[in-house]
Amino acid sequence: KSIIEFKDVNKIYDNGTVGLKDINLTVQPGEFLVVVGLSGAGKSTLMRTINQMHRPSSGSVLVDGVEVTDLKGRALRELRRKVGMIFQNFNLVKRTTVEHNVLSGKISYYPTWKSLLNLYTKADKLQAAEALDRVNLLEKLYMRADQLSGGQQQRVAIARTLMQDPKIILADEPIASLDPLTTRAVMNDLKKLNQEDGITVVVNLHSVPLALEYADRIVGMRAGQLVYDEPINRVTESD
């Protein structure tokens, strides 16, 4: 059973811009899918239709077997719990600790008053430490987020999504503002979570070489359409 399925999905923005055109796409659980294409091709729109940050204009989107295009309230929050997302600019709270940032992933789908009052349990804190350990940044627990490098901040953002126990992680140009070395650390973390935890990963990238290196499958977009969809036959270390 597929974990993400787009059927005849179209998205036309209010100003008439075509975001997505006749998208049909099926993603299997545990796939590492990279979406490539030029700026404006629709990659971000495609991604945001998975967690319903954007509603499609027509068509059907199934996530983990659930039709998501008309979800509201609790069901929408449950979808967003299941689907973690990281962004080009990390979206961390810069002037607070790494721990606090990671913990905030836990309560982002809880009532707001809990996050305002910092009502974290011991179990939450243990989970935050474990999440940070998954991205090899446990020693940064009590540092301020803005004292970390860009790549480290992105990995904190990954740890934050792990607090949701996500089935899917969406990464929207996660390495666009990083240097080659920290790029690799971020991509390796995503690959590890994909391979060891079975999390389905969807990444938007500009770099085709990087896509070839990490993806199980690459789809290409142009002008809102899927123009390419191929598995990668790669000889891995385990072969």
Q: Which residues bind ligand ADP (CB under 6 A)?
A: 13, 15, 17, 19, 37, 39-45, 173
Closest distance to ligand ADP from the beta carbon of 47 (Å): 8
- Which lies closer to ligand ADP via its Cβ, residue 158 or residue 205? 205
- Helix 122-134 / helix 180-197 crossing angle, nearest 10 deg: 120
* Residue 45 neighbours by CB distance under 10 Å: 22
- Which lies closer to ligand ADP via its Cβ, residue 11 or residue 100? 11
Closest distance to ligand ADP from the beta carbon of 23 (Å): 12
- CB 79 within 8 Å of CB 71: yes
Tokens of 102: 């990671």
Exposure on the CB side of residue 44, measured as CA atoms within 13 A: 10
Please state whether 195 falls in left (phi above 0), alpha (psi between -120 and 50) or beta: alpha
- Which lies closer to ligand ADP via its Cβ, residue 52 or residue 127? 52
Closest distance to ligand ADP from the beta carbon of 171 (Å): 12
Closest distance to ligand ADP from the beta carbon of 124 (Å): 30
- Which lies closer to ligand ADP via its Cβ, residue 44 or residue 101? 44
Closest distance to ligand ADP from the beta carbon of 120 (Å): 30
- Which lies closer to ligand ADP via its Cβ, residue 39 or residue 233? 39
Edge-to-edge strand list for the sheet holding 18-27: 18-27, 4-12, 58-63, 66-67
